[in-house]
Amino acid sequence: MRTVNMHEAKTHLSRLVDQAAKGEPFVIARAGKPLVKVVAIEETKPVVKRIGFMAGEVKIPDDFKAFAREEIEEMFNGKPE
């Protein structure tokens, strides 16, 4: 792996980054001491949300709309007298 000093990296940054993006990583050093390694970022596929991905795995009861109906009506209308 190629090592470049800080001055060379500043002078030729664009060219060095292009090379790293093509798969040729390099190390930037100061006074001969390695500081950072520049490598290309691996491309990742975006996460696609799928509609209906759990189809058939969740059971909804037939009386779902009636679930807690009395309590909900009391919250909105108050208790019947």
**Which of residues 57 and 13 earns the better pLDDT score?**
13
Q: What domains are there in the chain, each with its CATH number?
A: 2-38 (3.40.1620.10)
Residue 40 has pLDDT above 80, yes or no: yes
Q: Are 38 and 17 in contact (CB under 8 A)?
A: yes
41 — alpha (psi -120 to 50), left (phi > 0) or beta? Answer: beta
> Quick one: what percent of the chain has pLDDT higher than 70?
99
pLDDT in tens, 10-37: 999 999 999 999 999 999 999 999 999 9
Whether pTM > 0.75 for this model: the answer is no
Burial class (CB in 10 A: 0-12, 13-18, 19+), 16: buried
